[in-house]
Structure 1
Amino acid sequence: MTRQMILDLPVRQARGRDDFFVAPPNALALATLDDCAGWPSGRMLLIGPEGAGKSHLAAIWAETQDAPVLSAAALTDAEAPAAARHGAVVIEDAHRIATRPAAEEALFHLHNLMQAEGGRMLLTAASPPRDWGVHLPDLASRMAALASVRIGPPDDALLSAVLVKLFADRQTKVPRSLIPWLVGHMDRSFDAARRLVAALDARAVAEGRPLSRAMAAEVLDMRA
């Protein structure tokens, strides 16, 4: 069987509101972000596992607020004044800030500046602040005091929608009947969906074949 070269092409992620599938596991998170006027002290922490849609929700909120989206691990003090001028900011992957003293200091200063200016701050993380390993005591106490909302484990409808979106982001054609079959046979997590779609896409490209249930069964067996 002829195998094709796999090109490391960028995945084009759809991040608009119309691309976000609302289901019971994420409905409260979406409603909470929509009602940011009611956030305690203008702060909110969005918690969810890898692939749950935190970045998608953050992008929706950032667009409505004209807010910059900054990576917690790469945060610098130089970014704080510009973020404060916007009146709103998104800090992505806050759980990755530990062991980065400069980033911890920058987040501490940005938090205080946004509070002083009356701005809003949305943070995303895969776990609650107690699990981040933050070393700066003042930052740890502020993060622990944040109001938070969670994205729950996916139900069948949400997992199906996630699979459809992941395939669409890769511009990969998938038979409609394959989605419910995958949902019934894969590990039930957002991260498992992401890894499965990547593996199926790579296999289809490498072998020059369309996706099928037989191919999916082979890939799932290989990953078991």
Structure 2
Amino acid sequence: MNPHQFLLPLTLHPSFEMGDFIVSSSNEEALSWLGKWPEWPSRTLLIYGSQGSGKSHLASIWKSNARLLRPEEITVETLEVILTKSQNHFILDNAEYVKDEEALFHFLNATRQGDGSLLLLSQTPPREWGLTLPDLQSRLNALIAVGIQEPDDHLMRGLIKKYALDQQIPLSVDVLNYLFHHLPRSYQGLWASLEYINAEALRKKRGITIPLVREALLEHTLII
């Protein structure tokens, strides 16, 4: 295979195995608290971080058999059904978007009093959710809430390599170093730029070289 070949579909999914999680100072505290289960205070843990920071990866590591809930599922009407099913371990993604604050308050109480567990995922800490129910705010403030920081150098290099591996893209050392020095230092910027480079290489039917990456990054900057 040509070492610069980059003509693969964009539908390959990232691996969420434990061995594929890249640990650095940006996320090691979150991973450490995940490993303390089931000794979480109130049987609940909240992990927050920007989109693309690895929260879903951590959730998949924690419990593959936990029930994944969306914000719109947390209502007073549906809560009883959720809590009476045999599953008692839950992952609530995008928790900050739950509209029914009373239902979320009761959900937290039920988890605290029962034998289940709850992993809350959000992009921001609870103090930034704009809540109006004081009891809910107080309960959330009392939880262990661990933030994932923007990627440090070690994590940046690791995430670029992981993206290439997940998409089955061979990257030369020179291209990897160029990407490391020129990609945005944020999760959202990193993933958006890599996706754009991938798409441009496919569209132009060109291999991944520093000139191609330079062109794509310039175009992407102009677009956004």
TM-score, length-normalised on structure 2? Answer: 0.84
Unaligned 5+ runs, structure 1: 1-5
Matched residue type, 1:213:
I
Q: Secondary structure at the match of 1:168?
A: helix
Provide the residue aligned with 2:161 in structure 1: 164
Q: Secondary structure at the match of 1:210?
A: coil
Provide the residue aligned with 1:212 in structure 2: 209
Identity level (%): 32
Matched residue type, 1:129:
P
Q: Aligned equivalents of 2:84 and 2:178: distance in 1?
A: 48
Q: Deviation per CA, 1:86-114, whole angstroms, max 9, x where unpaired? A: 332111121222xx23xx34433322222
Q: Aligned equivalents of 1:146 and 1:39: distance in 2?
A: 9
The answer (yes or no) to whether the contact 2:8–2:167 under 8 Å persists in 1 is no
Unaligned 5+ runs, structure 2: 1-6
Structure with the larger RCO, 1 or 2 (CA within 8 Å, 6+ apart): 2
Q: CA deviation at 1:173?
A: 3.7
Provide the residue aligned with 2:174 in structure 1: 177
Count residues with an aligned counterpart.
Answer: 212
More helix by share: 1
Matched residue type, 1:168:
L
Q: Are positions 1:31 and 2:28 aligned together?
A: no
Q: Aligned equivalents of 2:154 and 2:95: distance in 1?
A: 28
Q: Are positions 1:96 and 2:97 aligned together?
A: yes
Provide the residue aligned with 1:68 in structure 2: 67
Q: Which runs of 4+ in 1 moved over 6 A?
A: none
Give 1:203's match in structure 2, choosing from 192, 200, 207.
200
The answer (yes or no) to whether the contact 1:174–1:211 under 8 Å persists in 2 is yes
Matched residue type, 2:207:
P
Provide the residue aligned with 2:43 in structure 1: 42
The answer (yes or no) to whether the contact 1:72–1:107 under 8 Å persists in 2 is no
Give 2:83's match in structure 1, choosing from 57, 81, 84.
81
The answer (yes or no) to whether the contact 1:73–1:93 under 8 Å persists in 2 is no
